[in-house]
A = this chain, B = another copy of it.
Amino acid sequence: MFTNRRDVQIQWGDCDPANIVYYPRYFAMFDDSTSILFEAAGCSKQDLVGVYGLVGIPMVDTGAKFYIPSTHGDWITIQSRIEKFNRSSFEVTHKVFKGEALAIEAFETRVLVGRDPADPARLQSVAVPAEIIEKFTRG
């Protein structure tokens, strides 16, 4: 499976009075990382909306285990990949490294959501298009 790595510098505003990252900020970084993973695979979030007609890829289940804290100025590497595509959902993992050390492990299950053609105000799950899967699995 296609994997993306990106380096992120922790900023002052990411940190709380204990001088470590306020953990909801990590979830925002992971959400960005999933978008950037899709873009790197050749299928940006803008394509998901504009080309594939999705409303979004909302979260249905997520979690994270935090092993090593970080503070402002620190650089972390976020390594993201899709572990599995299901019919209308997919599973992502994010591993955060500080140097060689594994600092955080996170997972996501997201569902593809579009509009019901019979009633555009209603949302419904959408099967993952084969060409999206192909973008992540091609050699």
Binding site for B on A (CB under 8 A): 11-13, 15-20, 22-25, 27-28, 31-32, 35, 39, 44-46, 49, 55-56, 58-66, 69, 71-73, 113
Q: Could you say which of B13, B18, B46 contacts A22, with CB atoms under 8 Å apart?
A: B13
Task: Give the docked Cα–Cα distance between A24 and B14 (Å).
Answer: 12
Q: Is the CB of A18 within 8 A of B113?
A: yes
Q: Could you say which of B22, B35, B59 contacts A66, with CB atoms under 8 Å apart?
A: B59
Q: Is the CB of B20 within 8 A of A12?
A: no
Q: Is the CB of B13 within 8 A of A15?
A: no
Closest B residue to A44 using CB positions: B73
Q: Is the CB of B12 within 8 A of A45?
A: yes
Name the B residues within 8 Å of A27 (CB-CB): 23-24, 27
A59-B66, A63-B63, A73-B45 given as contacts; is B18 within 8 A of A13 (CB)? no
User: Nearest Cβ in chain B — how far from A110, in angstroms?
Assistant: 10
Task: Give the docked Cα–Cα distance between A139 and B98 (Å).
Answer: 35
Q: Is the CB of B24 within 8 A of A45?
A: no
